[in-house]
Amino acid sequence: MDQPTLIDTQMHGRAGITGCFVVRGSELTALVETGPKSSLDHVLKGLADAGVEPDWLVVTHIHLDHAGAAGTLAHHFPEARVAVHEVGAPHLADPSKLWSSAARIYGDEMDELWGGIDPIDPGRITTLADGDEIDLGGRKLTAIDTPGHARHHHTYLDDVTGIAFTGDAMGVRLEDVGVVRPATPPPEFDLEDGIASIERIRSLRPTEMWLTHFGSQKPQPVDEVCDEAIAALRSWEGWVKEARTRSDDLDVIAAEVQKRAEEDLGGRLTPEAIDRMEQTTSYRMNTWGYVRYLDRKAKAS
């Protein structure tokens, strides 16, 4: 069986920040992740270059950078089925709430960044629960519940190569940057769930982890990437908590967190690298997710 093929979606005009992955079985082919609709042309070209028309469009979760092009690709490939977490499925059939929720974060930039989102006929959607499999013929992708980033998040394990396609469960680790940044957006981010999901991925003993942001982490050992991801989640929690002792203003808190994060990196990241990471999940968005999480936790206790 072939190794998976990475397609760079060139999201927001930047190379090497968001990918999708072609997985070929003996009978069927899956595209894991679709990128946003605004990156559709790059995905279609990648599929044409790979010489495939996908039978399955598989998304780790329904956020626009992962599933925004699913409806449009379903139109281009009318025989393909769309596989998604059972909680996220209704929002691909009717994406109006998904779009309006994202608009609270991105405001007037929605159309430019994401290009819209097309609904999918519910009859073409296959909902997946924890442990469900997609059989490609001699090769299976197993859906693994990995909440934390969002409740409707799956990691997919390829039984032929042992590769785990981890979506945003491991955060962001761009190939040429080598630093883990958490992905902790509002409104669903949950720290405990996120750490538990990383440990669950570790327990699968994958041979490699392929992150949507971005690509294979080989030769970095799986355990090291897991440890880095957990440490990053804990560090950001501490920075947000500390900043909130001095201000309740989100922008002030985010600015303090950015300062702490950049101090922690000791100037190792160039402005260009920081800009590319900001395209995947920004300091402000991550901080907002932590603030919402901490407020929920305080209210519950």
What are the sequence ranges of the domains in the chain?
5-300
Q: C-alpha 231: how far from its chain's center?
A: 19
Question: Which tokens sit at 95?
Answer: 């994406």
Question: What's the CA gap between 220 and 241, in Å, rounded?
Answer: 31
Q: Is residue 188 helix, strand or coil?
A: coil
Please give the model's pTM, rounded to 2 decimal places. 0.96
pLDDT at 1: 61
Return the closest-CA partner of residue 199 out of 147, 238, 132: 147
pLDDT at 267: 72
Average pLDDT rounded to a whole number, residues 155-178 = 94
Question: What's the CA gap between 142 and 135, in Å, rounded?
Answer: 9
The mean predicted confidence, pLDDT, of the chain is 95
Share of the chain above pLDDT 90, in %: 88
pLDDT tens digits, 167-190: 999 999 998 788 899 999 999 999
pLDDT tens digits, 272-289: 888 899 999 999 999 999
Please say if the pLDDT value at position 213 is more than 80: yes
8-state DSSP, 7: E
Contacts of 203 (CB under 8 A, 6+ apart): none
For domain 5-300, which CATH number applies: 3.40.50.10860, 3.40.50.10800, 3.60.15.10, 2.60.120.10? 3.60.15.10
Please say if the pLDDT value at position 291 is more than 90: yes
